[in-house]
Structure 1
Amino acid sequence: MVADQHPPTSDRAEERDRIGARGIWLICVACAALAVVMGAMTALNVALPEIAPSIGATSTEMTWLVDAYTVALAALLLPSGAIGDRFGRRGLLIIGLAIFAAASTPPLWTDDPTAIIASRALSGVAAAMVMPSTLSLLTSQLPERKRPLAVSLWAGVGGAAGIGGFFVSGFLLEWFSWRSIFIVFTVVAALLAMASATIGTSRDEHSKPFDVPGALVSTAAVFLFVVGLLETPTRGWDDAVTLGALGAGLVLGVVFVVVERRRAAPLLDVHLFANRAFSAGALTVMVQFFASLGLFYVVLQRLQLDFGMSPLMAATAVMPVVVVIMILSPIGTWLAVRYSLRSMLVLGVSLTGIGLILMGVVPYTTYWGMFPMLMLGAVGQGFATAPPTTAIMANTPAATQGIGSAVNDTFRELGAAIGIAVSGSILASGYTRNIAPVADRVSAETGSSQLGEHIARSLAEALHTIDALATRLPGRTETLDAVADQAKQAFIGPMNTACVVMGIVILVGVAFLIFLSPRAMTPVSASTSETETEPEREPAAG
């Protein structure tokens, strides 16, 4: 009797579900590439005080040193995801990392603000190639049963990398010049481009014609809307440029939906949003990044300007948030898949909102007074960071995983831009209003209107001006210290208001999630994908 040469069915299933060494390497490369481009989004924030005087940048140029990256990244995510689906996701990842490395070199040899801003914009273009490629490679190549774990690791890294950007920059600035940040970008991106050549690739084997009209309209819509949001803190919500950009972006967004519904091969199948898990995931991603970027926009200023921490100390102070998010991300995904997607989304987002409101209403004067509220928000972020991304990708056909990843990333960027716009505008207008009497008095007492203007622009500029005066006028130290304390108080009130407003907005989002979110994170049927080669997927336990 001939022995059966085939292993039992259960053994074959276990073999098929194993990640293996190549899968682990893929996860490491993808998460490292994501960390670089996410960290680059925030890395310059703490370095601007050193960069600006070194290159002679104006306040507008300083703003665009940061924003050029974000605008280019957000605007090109959807087209980049579609290109990866059509031509190959690994190739797009390698090209994106190579361009990112090259685009990080001009700041090493030029002091021209315009050239550095252009290099940041090109880095954003490269980041738009990298981000959707990393996630779609994971979800298209790893065994289906292991994808939630990989997605949770990816989402945890993405949620923590922005904070990591602050930390790395703060560490480098302690020992080196600001140009060292770009050296790190160049070297790490180049190494990752070479490492990416060793991983597998995937693409849609039955790709359709590229949707050029959809790509152009979506790029213009996101570009204008994000520009309008990022200009809000400095121009205000009632400024003509702000309103024009936001309005044009919204109109083009509607045009995009109309165009895509009529296309035979759309860039984005807008019918995906009829899937409740997909829509709930997109909304949660936007709300979570609205919370995290808005929160860190105000918290890092409080730590440095009020509590007197250095950039490195401030970044270190928020590192516990990174640890909590990384630990809870896979746990949140497991609970969402095993028990209830709705429960995890509502719980996580609710804790985030409550933490922000408490940070705005509970008085504290030290970091440790802030710490419990910060950790409550971190727990919420941890539970709700990975499940929405998993829901988006599980309900996106295998052939368009790049687009699914791009939708996830686009909603991240929109949420981040809205969070910075809301918190930044509340801070700017509140501080200007509160400090006006102090600035007027200083101008009258010194006979210098320019001095009052410096104090009225921002808390950072006020404290810098006061420190410079204290060096030149040592006999006026007590008076200058009093002005510094008044400037800090003028900042704290609007900061608390920003936290409360953001928390309320987040809880409103929770109300929508309660009705929108399904209980089960149901994947699409295998029949919806022309490239699906695995057996029909089993519904997630619910």
Structure 2
Amino acid sequence: MDRRPTPHSPTAVRHGAVLAVTCLALATVVSAMASLNVALPGIARETHATQTQLSWIIDAYSLVFAALLLLAATLGDRFGRRKALLGGLAVFAGASAAATFSSEPQVLIVLRAVLGIAAAFVMPATLSTITTTFPREQRARAVSVWAAVAGASAVLGLLASGAVLEVWSWRSVFWLNVVLAVVAFVGTYVFVPESAEPGKRRVDVVGALLTVIGLGILVYSVIQAPEHGWASTRTLAGIGAALLVLAGFVAWELRHPDPLLNPRLFRHKAFAAGTVSITMQFFAFFGFIFVVMQYLQLVRGDSALTAALSVLPMSAAMIPSSRLAPKIAARVGARRPWIVGLVAVAVGLIVLAELDTDSSYWLVLTGLVPLGAGMGLAMTPATAAITDALPARLQNVGSAVNDLSRELGGALGIAVLGSVLNAGYRDNLDVAGMPSSLSEAARSSLAAAHVIGQRTGDTQLIDHARDAFASGLHLALLTGSAAAVLGAIAVGVLLRRPGRNAVAPAAPEAEAVAARR
């Protein structure tokens, strides 16, 4: 019998190539969550999208991404992670190509949702491929690289998008998605081995539907709140209904023999701390990206490339701190650098909340450095807490929970911070004396106010709109800072009795859950 290794047999695995390809696939879907932010002014001007529609164009991707992650991870677990990567990347490339031909905000929203479906299959397969392919002694380093790529890809995506926008329209951002997805597809086909769990679990369709419905109602209610009113019956009823549906999801999962996510896993304190921390970090992070890119271009008047370059110091601080985090945790334990990182995120956002129409770039830089360093310092121990808390047979679940925390936090952060920004802008914009049609258009978005002011020669309207946007930005970034503080408190409480092995692999609680499965 011929026992020579096949290209995808374990003995032929090239770990460096697998890490490079999975990180490229990860960067493709993570950068797409942020890269379009730099094109929002152009999209608003060409498609006449309102501020609410701009929120949906960005958040449709994040919402669907988060809502389908658990189902997609289960399907990848059952049918193969390599297949999930290949299929997800193919759909991602196709939907991105289709978006380049769109000129209506509603169509962009739908296509961004399709991209979210594709990304939901790609992202959990990247981390679970690493954790199941790499030997334990190499896994921590590989996960730290994965975490660094996950954190830095958003900013690097902004930079790449800003560069292509210098020579082309906002459609170039989608063409960039196509190129990255095609390269990642080829690399996956050549280098990534297939991996799947031998047991055939039933697919929890009801749990998946409850997740989609609950998160969909919640995000819709938050994004539409500035138009209907935060205290309106419609907004409060929507949020209440969403919480009831999500509570029903938890009750269903506790009783289902093959749940998408077993809530009992959260009895493990390190696992729970990692989940809460990542959710709050990315709530603040992606919400910040959404609001600050509009500030830099529409308030400061920066070009797309200059705006992208302006936030690059955040990535420069994030990458080394994420690589140093495992070494620091090995010396003093995970809890202290983890909490320090979350506090640094909060401090950075508080500094950035002081931005106004006349702020210098030095104030931006002063806030970006602690924000980036804090993200990197907190991200690696949080990711390791989730993956190391579970036995090998539940690594795909751990990967999905880690990714769900990121995308759910990002989706809610964009929805909440975008909504707070929109409400602050609408409440502070002075449109007294303007015709009702023009005043409502000006209140719909800062980009619209710019267009109206330029067409009518009303420079005072533009100045008032910029001031109103800065007021909304202040409230939005303080909201993001509060989320980071809540994350730090949660980690401190859950890991209040830390030891050097506070984040221990395969905890008894997780093993018990695995036995039930």
Moved more, 105-114 or 457-466: 105-114
The 2-side partners of 1:340 and 1:320 are apart by 27
Q: How far has the Cα of 1:300 moved from its partner?
A: 2.0
SS of residue paired to 2:282: helix
For 1:56 and 1:361, the matched residues in 2 are separated by 30
Task: State the match for 2:337 in structure 1.
Answer: 344
Contact 2:55/2:414 (<8 A) preserved: no
Map of 2:178 onto structure 1:
186
User: In 2 relative to 1, CA 222–427 (structure 1 residues): closer, same or farther, beyond 3 Å?
Assistant: closer
Which segments of 5 or more consecutive residues in structure 1 lack a partner in the other structure? 1-18, 471-479, 533-542
Query: Aligned to 1:266, what secondary structure does the other structure show?
Result: coil
Hey, what does 1:257 align to over in structure 2?
A: 250
Map of 1:43-192 to 2, 5 A cutoff? 43-52=35-44, 54=46, 62-111=54-103, 114-192=106-184
Normalising to structure 1: TM-score of the pair? 0.84
The structure 1 residue matched to 2:241, chosen from 238, 248, 265, is 248
Structure 1 partner of 2:486: 508
Q: Which residue does the alignment assign to 2:504?
A: 522
- Whether the aligned pair in 1 keeps the contact of 2:283 and 2:483 (CA below 8 Å) is no
User: Contact 2:267/2:509 (CA < 8 Å) preserved in 1?
Assistant: no
Q: Aligned residue for 1:4?
A: none
- Counterpart AA for 1:466: G
Q: What pairs with 1:45-444 in structure 2 (closer than 5 Å)?
A: 45-52=37-44, 54=46, 62-111=54-103, 114-197=106-189, 198-361=191-354, 365-436=359-430, 439-441=431-433, 443=434
Which residue does 1:25 correspond to in 2?
Answer: 17
> Helix, strand or coil for the counterpart of 2:381?
helix
Q: In structure 2, how many angstroms separate the alpha carbons of the residues matched to 1:196 and 1:128? A: 16
Residues 85 and 400 in structure 1, CA contact (< 8 A), matched pair in contact too? no
Q: Distance in 2 between matches of 1:502 and 1:195?
A: 37
Q: Quick one: which amino acid aligns to residue 367 of structure 1?
A: Y
Q: Which amino acid aligns with 1:39?
A: S
Per-residue deviation, 1:27:
1.0
Shift of 1:119: 2.6
CA-based RMSD of the aligned residues comes to: 2.7
**Residues 1:78 and 1:337: Cα distance change in structure 2 (over 3 Å):** farther
Q: Cα 1:420–1:234, aligned 2, differ >3 Å: closer, same or farther?
A: farther
Summarize the Cα distance change of 1:529–1:449 in structure 2 as closer, same or farther, 3 Å threshold: closer
Q: Tell me, what secondary structure is at the counterpart of 1:45?
A: helix
Contact 1:230–1:417 (CA under 8 A) maintained in structure 2: no
Partner of 1:469: 456
Contact 2:291 2:473 survives alignment (8 Å)? yes
Q: Alpha-carbon deviations, 1:396-430, whole Å to 9, x = none? A: 22122222111111111222233223322332222
Q: How big is the shift at 1:361?
A: 4.9
Q: Give runs of ≥4 in structure 1 deviating > 6 Å.
A: 526-530
Cα distance 1:331–1:465, how it changes in 2: closer, same or farther (>3 A)?
same
What are the superposed Cα offsets for residues 307-346 of structure 1, whole Å, 9 maximum, x if unpaired?
2111111111001111211111121133224431211221
- Identity of paired residues, percent? 37
Tell whether the 8 Å contact from 1:103 to 1:119 is kept in structure 2 after alignment.
yes
Cα drift, residue 296 of structure 1: 2.2
Once residues 479 and 106 of structure 2 are traced to their aligned partners in structure 1, the CA distance between those partners, rounded to angstroms, is 36
Q: Deviation string for 1:489-533 (max 9, x for gaps)?
A: 233233223323332342233222211124421000699779x9x
Q: Give the whole-Å Cα distance in 1 for the aligned partners of 2:379 and 2:420.
A: 26
Q: Which residue, 456, 466, 471 being the options, matches 1:493?
A: 471
CA deviation vs aligned residue, 1:3-56 (integer Å, no higher than 9, x gap) = xxxxxxxxxxxxxxxx99811111111111111111112232332443455556
Cα shift at 1:362:
8.0
Aligned mate of 1:453, from 440, 448, 454 = 440
Say if 1:331 and 1:233 are closer, same or farther in 2 by CA, change over 3 A: farther
Aligned mates of 2:107, 2:414 — CA distance in 1: 25
Q: CA deviation at 1:73?
A: 0.9
Provide, for residues 199-257 of structure 1, a one-character-per-residue CA deviation record: whole Å limited to 9, x for no partner.
12222123433333323323333333333334345544334554344323321221122
State the Cα distance separating 1:60 from its structure 2 match: 5.9
User: In the superposition, relative to structure 1, how do residues 358 and 466 fare at CA in structure 2: closer, same or farther (>3 Å)?
Assistant: same
State which structure, 1 or 2, has the greater radius of gyration over its C-alpha atoms.
Answer: 1
Task: Look up the equivalent residue of 1:493 and give its one-letter code.
Answer: S
- The 8 Å contact of residues 343 and 485 in structure 2, kept in 1 or not, is answered as yes
Structure 1 pair 232–93 and aligned structure 2 pair: CA distance change class (3 A): farther
Q: Structure 1 residues 85 and 338 mapped into 2: Cα distance closer, same or farther (>3 Å)?
A: farther
Distance 1:396 1:240, change over 3 A: farther
Structure with more relative contact order (C-alpha pairs < 8 Å, separation 6 or more): 2
CA deviations over 1:344-388 (Å, ceiling 9, x no partner): 221100111122223335887111122112212221112012211
1:126 and 1:434, CA in 2 relative to 1: closer, same or farther beyond 3 A?
same
2:4 paired residue number:
none
SS in 1 for 2:505: coil
Q: Is the 8 A contact 2:204 2:259 kept in 1?
A: yes
The one-letter amino acid paired with 2:308 is A
- The letter of the residue matching 2:321 is L
Secondary structure of 1:44 counterpart: helix
Aligned residues: 497
Aligned amino acid, residue 500 of structure 1: L
**CA 1:223/1:396 → structure 2, altered by over 3 Å: closer, same or farther?**
farther
Give the AA of the match of 1:459.
L
Preserved contact between residue 89 and residue 402 of structure 1 (Cα < 8 Å): no
Instruction: Rate the CA distance shift 1:178–1:513 in 2: closer, same or farther, 3 A.
Output: same
Summarize the Cα distance change of 1:207–1:417 in structure 2 as closer, same or farther, 3 Å threshold: same
Q: Is the 8 A contact 2:97 2:178 kept in 1?
A: yes
**TM-score, length of structure 2 as denominator length:** 0.88
Alignment-mate amino acid for residue 377 of structure 1: L
Classify 1:344/1:132 alpha carbon distance in 2 versus 1 (closer, same or farther; 3 Å): same
Letter in 2 for 1:501: T
Q: Distance in 2 between matches of 1:383 and 1:58?
A: 37
Q: Which residue in the other structure is 1:15 paired with?
A: none
